[in-house]
Structure 1
Amino acid sequence: MTHAQLEQKFPAPLMIGQKDTTVPVWPVFKQNATANELVGYLFESIDFASVPGFSGTPVNLLVALDARGVFMDVQVISHHEPVFLEGLGEGPLHKFVNQYRGISLKQNVAIDTAPRDRADKSGGNVHIDGVAKATASVRIINQSLLSAALKVARKKLGYAGTRDPDQIARIREELAESLDIRALTANGLFKRVVFSNGDVENGFAGTAGAGLDAEALARPDDAFIELQVGLVSVPSIGRSLLDDASWQRLKGRLEEGDHAVLVWWNGRYGPVSGSFVAGTVPDRLILSQEGLPIEMRDLNLDLKLRDADALPPASMKVFRIISQAGLDPAQALDLSLRVTRLKGMIYPERIGQDFAMRYRLPERFYIVPAGDNKSWLPVWKQRWWELAIVLAGLIVLFLALARQKSLAQDGRRFGWFRTAYLGFTLFFLGWFAQGQLSIVNITGVIQAIKDGRGLDFMLYDPVSIVLWCGVLVSLLIWGRGTFCGWLCPFGALQEFAARLGKWLKLPQIRVRAALDARLKLLKYLVLAVILGSVFVAPSLTDKLAEVEPFKTVITLNFVRSWPFVLYAAGLLLASAVCYKFFCRYLCPFGAGLAVLGRFRLLAWLPRRAQCGQPCQTCRYRCDYEAIRPDGTIRYDECFQCMDCVVIYQSDEKCAPLILEKKRRVPISIRAA
């Protein structure tokens, strides 16, 4: 972005200063009387957080951050995300980034679709709407934006750090010490602090609130408030402080990664006012870490202490900190008690002062994670059950293929298994889990490597990663056919289209062998053009990749402009009359797998000496035309449908077995 372009985007009364020579940001000023007041900073996200998107190219955002760390504006400068290029269109992308306006870096941003009050951007946690069909892309954008903004905030706004939910310490759940209240207090696990009337009065010294509390002036040594605080979500503290029933009730209200703070108090003042509503945020007590506020909310639980006689009668509440807030138990918890005094009668002036206490958990109660940024981990945790189903599906398929003889022994049983698995591939892997592998995966990796960027962006799509692992294993063992014949959602849809075409008695076209061989070379040409464009004309790569209808059919469920829908529908219609037309002749991803599949270890399809010499049954039955006249298999064109294996084992379909069966039939000879 140039200075002139920025002035057009942020016109008067804002003034854009000259670009910083040490940090690539533009200061933004606003005239206040005769002085120019600093409003904030403008910067491009790619200068600070170059996180590759799914095309291998980072999304570049123009970010306006005010002097308090609040987003003034976020705009998309450039992107190459496939789902927003001609797919969903750029509208949802712009709508997504617009949600960051008014959000502070001191808040936790969660992307979800749960029904919440999106207009409320106060408090420690803010929820914004994601984009259906683009879950991984918006998480990459979120990571880019927040990472870049925090780097600017540290360098220009004095921020000391941030909360990364995936890099915080974890409580050691297996450690369960048994301590009484005296030991808990002595070790700082149940931290005690007393503010006397004199302490509070001294806190207001020099302000308009000084001398307004007659009781504090009369009895300065008396307790204003006695506070005791404990992190009761830590098993050793919770079990020791609470009785067994209360501990079980507390555990039942906490999700994994949540924390709970027990606050006990006595005296003339409390951490909640008389107007406090149960279940809400405390109105007088603030929790923060490293200067960043963390929201805690009343659990509204009636809990009892294990040794209630050890403490005088007092009030007690337990506040919950959800895991998304990013509280780090390895860091000190800073608690501030807000004390407010009123001056005046009709419209009194409110004067407030904060009184701080610090709580620190000993090291033996937590585990500090090692390593670098792992911001993709929440995506994997959130989709764990989908990944478990995908992994189970791969295991079932691999076991079935490894036992092909028993699987294909009964043609009817095998037909049901294949239909069921293709249904799983289409409906679960494709339309639900969005696990359609594509040439875009390959071009994205090449683009990232060419530009010297990492491949972390792939980790934001865990289903695809698991599928890729399965495909790479299957390529080494069986070749291309495992994915193309069993794990490709669009391939499964084409097979169902072919079955529908036969059921409707549509004319079936079988391309002559010579022409079929020439047409099959087309997909290698398409592959070469797309891969070449990555180096010659990267801007065309996304457009050329549209030869694949996967985005239209699987990702967007045909909700797209009519040329794309018409193209995809035409390919399905072609498959209804010419078996798997796109897969055999046009698919660049299949061509890439065919090339990689040449390094397979096994020629796993069984053959007989009579196959092709003279028997041609399997060759004529193969809808893929992947069997040569001499009976050998073209594994680069084989889709592993295993129809030839069913024929090979059937003494009703395989000509050599039929002849052998006839020879075994005894012919009785009787006298004439």
Structure 2
Amino acid sequence: MTAGRNGLHPTPWLRRFLAGLVMALLASLPAVAGQLDRAGMEKYFPAPLVVGERDEALPVWPILKQAAGSYEVFAYAFESVDFAPIPGFGGTPPDLLVALGPDGAFRDVKVVSHHEPVFLEGLGSEPLFAFVEQYVGMSARRPIRVGRPNARGSGASPQNTVDGISMATASTRVINESILAASLAVARAKLGFGATHAGLTVGARPDADESLTVSELSARGWVRRLTVTNRQADEAFREAGLTAAGDGPPEAPLTDLTFAYLNAPAIGRSLLGLERFGALMRELGPGDHAVMVVSHGPENPLGEDFVLGSIPERLTVTQGGLAVNARDMAIERRGGAPGLPDGPWTILRITGAAGFDPSAPWTLTERIVRERGQIFPEKIARDFSADYALPARLFIREAAEAGPSWTDPWRARGPELGVIALALAGLVPVLVRQTGLVADRRRFSVFRLAFLAFTLVFVGWYAQAQLSIVTLIGLVRAATVIHDLAFLLYDPPSLLLWGFVLVSLVIWGRGTFCGWLCPFGALQEFVALLAKPLRIRQVAVPPRLDRWLRQVKYGLLAGILVAAAAGSPLADSLAEAEPFKTAITLYFVRAWPFVAYAVGLLILNLFVYKGFCRYLCPLGASLAVLGRLRLLDWIPRRAECGSPCQLCKVRCRYGAIRPTGRIDYPECFQCMDCVTIIHDPGQCVPQVVARRRGKRILPQPVAAE
């Protein structure tokens, strides 16, 4: 270690050594891949199940079970990292073992390995294990989303919603995306569904328009009917031992549906009229589709208790064997075109995320349900379907990439991003204009405490945007394993803050984050306010010991980064030197050793102001190193600073001012106290002396050491 412009920092030879070591590790580490062999698979699928031979083309294992004297496929087992290596917040992809049944249902989902920081000695892995267990019984044929904690208990559909985990929103989204992306890849290859619309965006051609009657539309097959007679229904249910239950003659319709795809102008305008078709297209989102279903038979598939805007339980749209999520649009439903049968009807919305291709054949299915027995009746269901297809000339087909999954958290957390962005926009002019609010000691003190409260409560505890050395560990692991930084996009508030902090490093150095935007740093400042009423005197750390202690954080940073580059779990253990996970992410709800450590640092803060930040924080060390790239020595100084005046040095609780009066920017937390003093003619000693002598002096920036 050698002295830099304003303090000690790693020597050039040490930096070159670490850089060379990291690059060597980058070149030597293998790509991420599944880790289970046959023996590993057999531990997860013991007898009576049998692990078959691994597929020659794909890393998929058939899991067999004996039935009727022979073996049949119970599930296809695979590891998510082999198909969807999406990096988590530890920088490496979570590895999930997925067992997908031949019908597309999840037979089992297990966690093989992960490096998600919030589940490593934080919440513990048990909540993660419980999270993935929710997928068992759900179908890969349906889109599955991560809801809020207890979303299903609050009424969300258990067929396509899993309960999220508090304080682990971003991690659960990554895991959900890993499971679904890997499962869909296997389903397309092994189960044969979901392949018709992959990589395409298909929209109705707006110029393919003509005015047609319902009869003309029916003649072209653009309006279709699904009719089930009493005889057909009785024959379908007779296999289950049910006798005829339909009223009327055998050839009379039990259910009669008329349905059509509405986005095509020639169909939608003809059925709805120009004005209502325009309103429908405006209400549909980009890439969404609308299907009209009119019921004019005795059996109404919507039911009398149907709730507008919900998913009809007895109507299903399928394509390529994949059930498409179709939800009622809850819009006005009257005044159809002449010739359209009378009866209750619905317009089903199919979102663009469903991957529906209206130019390819699809099927409308109605489920008819009857009961058997009287005391404990058993419900028996039979499905009846009708196919639908439109000519390709009605559509525009364009190759497109699937929308990235990280866009969901950006939309969901838009309000939080807006609030943080406004706060940052308000902070910048205060820090830039040093003669404004900063020069007023009382007003600036109120502003600073209010902003720190915002940082602690909103940024930290509410938005969960505490920046951490864990992100740097993730960056190193991502660089050494899969070369993918997409995991950063799953935590929008933190990414917004990282962007601001990196810019501020170039302008002001480390202090903007450490002094204003670190929730744990803000918590320490509020705890330090208790020192005076508690009559706790600050401990003066001897200068030589202080200089030595300040190097500890650099050594800790080096150890963490080297361990991360080497793929060692030691990096996660060393990262626990940060109390951020305990105090901010988990609200002190954690195992007692971690809580005792975090509380101990807060108590230390009463005696040695921000001792953790000054001596132990590895994130602060990384920012201090990067902060040496700053463009400005922005804190004004006078020739009298340091000799004879030592007021700023004495008042600086961070020890960031040298006896010479120069600023040690890597140790400066941008509290602005010295800036307030130098602009205050009542505090700044050189100004006080000059005023007594009838002179006026101006502060001047002084080059840092």
TM-score class normalised by the smaller sequence: 0.7 to 0.9
Once the two structures are superposed, residues 89-146 of structure 1 have per-residue CA deviations (whole angstroms, 9 ceiling, x without a partner) of 11101100111111111112111127554699988x5111111111111111111111
Is the partner of 1:149 in helix, strand or coil?
helix
Of residues 301, 321, 325, the one that matches 1:272 is 301
Structure 2 residue 641 is the aligned partner of structure 1 residue 606: no
Equivalence for 2:645: 615
Change (3 A) 1:434 1:51: same
Pick which of 481-490 and 450-459 moved more.
Answer: 450-459
- The whole-number CA distance in structure 2 between the counterparts of 1:512 and 1:184 is 95
Equivalence for 2:79: 44
Equivalence for 1:229: 260
Change (3 A) 1:70 1:350: closer
Structure 2 residue 193 is the aligned partner of structure 1 residue 159: yes
Equivalence for 1:629: 659
**How far did residue 289 of structure 1 move?**
3.2
**How far did residue 492 of structure 1 move?**
0.7
Equivalence for 1:101: 136
Structure 2 residue 175 is the aligned partner of structure 1 residue 141: yes
Of residues 34, 40, 43, the one that matches 1:5 is 40
Once the two structures are superposed, residues 542-565 of structure 1 have per-residue CA deviations (whole angstroms, 9 ceiling, x without a partner) of 011000000000000000000000
TM-score, normalised to structure 1's length?
0.85
Once the two structures are superposed, residues 143-166 of structure 1 have per-residue CA deviations (whole angstroms, 9 ceiling, x without a partner) of 1111112222222222343989xx
Equivalence for 2:479: 449
Equivalence for 2:338: 310
Question: What residue identity is the alignment partner of 2:604?
Answer: A
Of residues 443, 449, 452, the one that matches 1:422 is 452
- The whole-number CA distance in structure 2 between the counterparts of 1:168 and 1:494 is 53
Is the partner of 2:569 in helix, strand or coil?
helix
Please give the root-mean-square deviation of Cα atoms over the aligned residues, in Å. Answer: 4.3
Is the partner of 2:662 in helix, strand or coil?
coil
Higher relative contact order (CA 8 A, sep 6+): 2
**How far did residue 231 of structure 1 move?**
3.4
**How far did residue 505 of structure 1 move?**
2.1
Percent identity between the two aligned chains: 41
Change (3 A) 1:216 1:14: same
Equivalence for 1:435: 465
Equivalence map 1:531-610=2 (5 Å): 531-536=561-566, 538-610=568-640
Unpaired runs of at least 5, structure 1: 666-672
Once the two structures are superposed, residues 228-284 of structure 1 have per-residue CA deviations (whole angstroms, 9 ceiling, x without a partner) of 4343799995898269799879988x8898765333355x56662777745465465
Pick which of 147-156 and 480-489 moved more.
Answer: 147-156
**How far did residue 452 of structure 1 move?**
3.8
Is the partner of 2:636 in helix, strand or coil?
coil
**How far did residue 373 of structure 1 move?**
5.2
Of residues 668, 674, 683, the one that matches 1:644 is 674
- The whole-number CA distance in structure 2 between the counterparts of 1:508 and 1:411 is 23
Q: How many residues align?
A: 651
8 A contact 1:180–1:240 mirrored in 2: no
Equivalence for 2:437: 407
Structure 2 residue 292 is the aligned partner of structure 1 residue 262: yes
- The whole-number CA distance in structure 2 between the counterparts of 1:236 and 1:480 is 62
**How far did residue 191 of structure 1 move?**
3.8
Question: What residue identity is the alignment partner of 2:195?
Answer: G
- The whole-number CA distance in structure 1 between the counterparts of 2:40 and 2:71 is 21
Structure 2 residue 352 is the aligned partner of structure 1 residue 321: no
**How far did residue 430 of structure 1 move?**
0.5
Question: What residue identity is the alignment partner of 2:545?
Answer: L
8 A contact 1:475–1:596 mirrored in 2: yes
Change (3 A) 1:494 1:348: closer
Change (3 A) 1:526 1:162: farther
Structure 2 residue 497 is the aligned partner of structure 1 residue 462: no
Change (3 A) 1:310 1:571: same
Unpaired runs of at least 5, structure 2: 1-35, 696-705
- The whole-number CA distance in structure 2 between the counterparts of 1:312 and 1:100 is 42
Structure 2 residue 184 is the aligned partner of structure 1 residue 150: yes
Change (3 A) 1:234 1:367: farther
Structure 2 residue 362 is the aligned partner of structure 1 residue 334: yes
Structure 2 residue 171 is the aligned partner of structure 1 residue 129: no
Equivalence for 1:663: 693
Equivalence for 1:32: 67
Change (3 A) 1:566 1:144: same
Is the partner of 2:531 in helix, strand or coil?
helix
**How far did residue 170 of structure 1 move?**
9.4
**How far did residue 663 of structure 1 move?**
2.1
Change (3 A) 1:187 1:555: farther
TM-score, normalised to structure 2's length?
0.81
Equivalence for 1:78: 113
